[in-house]
Amino acid sequence: MTLSEEAESRLADIVSLQPTKNSELQERWGLDGGSEVHQYLESELKEYYYRDENSLIRATPEAAELVGIDTDEDIVRVPPLQSDIIDVLAGPDGEPQSVVSVLHDLEDAGIETDVDAVRSGLRSLEDKGIVAVIKKTVPTFRLAVERDDIEVETLEEPAHA
């Protein structure tokens, strides 16, 4: 099956961001809703993706080969905000941070964002196994792995952003 340039680009996003969610792809692709993402996946990329046991979107090995992206598990490919979160978030032995604390650390680093984006970024990093949630009165977060043990590759912002 030959993919259009747009479909191949979107497939590369899935390979890079996996595991990912409809909402993350919706934002990256500039679509109006999760159902629009689902419709696109089913109509254009059905044979190149699947949902894992947690309903997260993952690419097939054929998809990674098709778009030429190494799926080495030591490399974490994330959007810029998630990369910034990794930079400021407490390490595995540090005091866990609330979403608001992470937001303030990002602001102190000169990064403009909002609490919803930080919460979403933390949850995506949790899905990737990079961030651990420590339950307290409110969820708090810290890195699940040593910062030096991961190679972070920051993805470019999509053209529509």
Residues 90, 56, single domain; the answer is no
Query: Are residues 24 and 39 in contact, defined by beta-carbon separation less than 8 angstroms?
Result: no
Token look-up 């799926």 returns: 71
What is the Cα–Cα distance from 161 to 155, expressed in whole angstroms? Answer: 13
Q: pLDDT class for 1, splitting at 50, 70, 90?
A: low
- Supply the CATH number for residue 50's domain: 1.10.10.10
Q: Residue 7 has which token pair?
A: 């479909």
Residues 62, 104, single domain; the answer is no
The domain of 45 spans: 5-67
Three-state secondary structure call for residue 22: helix
Burial class (CB in 10 A: 0-12, 13-18, 19+), 59: buried
Residues 88, 124, single domain; the answer is yes
Burial class (CB in 10 A: 0-12, 13-18, 19+), 122: buried
pLDDT at 69: 87
**Residue 159, domain member (yes or no):** no
**Residue 85, domain member (yes or no):** yes
- pLDDT reading at 137 higher than 90: no
Residues 92, 120, single domain; the answer is yes
What is the Cα–Cα distance from 19 to 57, expressed in whole angstroms? Answer: 5
Q: Which of 51, 67, 83 is the last residue of a domain?
A: 67
What is the Cα–Cα distance from 159 to 64, expressed in whole angstroms? Answer: 22
Q: Which helix (H) or strand (E) holds 66?
A: helix 61-67
- pLDDT reading at 109 higher than 80: yes
Calculate the average pLDDT of the chain.
Answer: 92
- pLDDT reading at 26 higher than 80: yes
Number of compact structural domains in the chain: 2
Over residues 69-85, the mean pLDDT reads 86
Over residues 145-154, the mean pLDDT reads 90
**Residue 161, domain member (yes or no):** no
Beta-carbon contacts of residue 110 (< 8 Å; ≥ 6 apart):
none
User: Is the whole model's pTM more than 0.85, yes or no?
Assistant: no
Residues 146, 79, single domain; the answer is yes
pLDDT at 160: 65
In DSSP terms, 97 is beta-bridged to 141
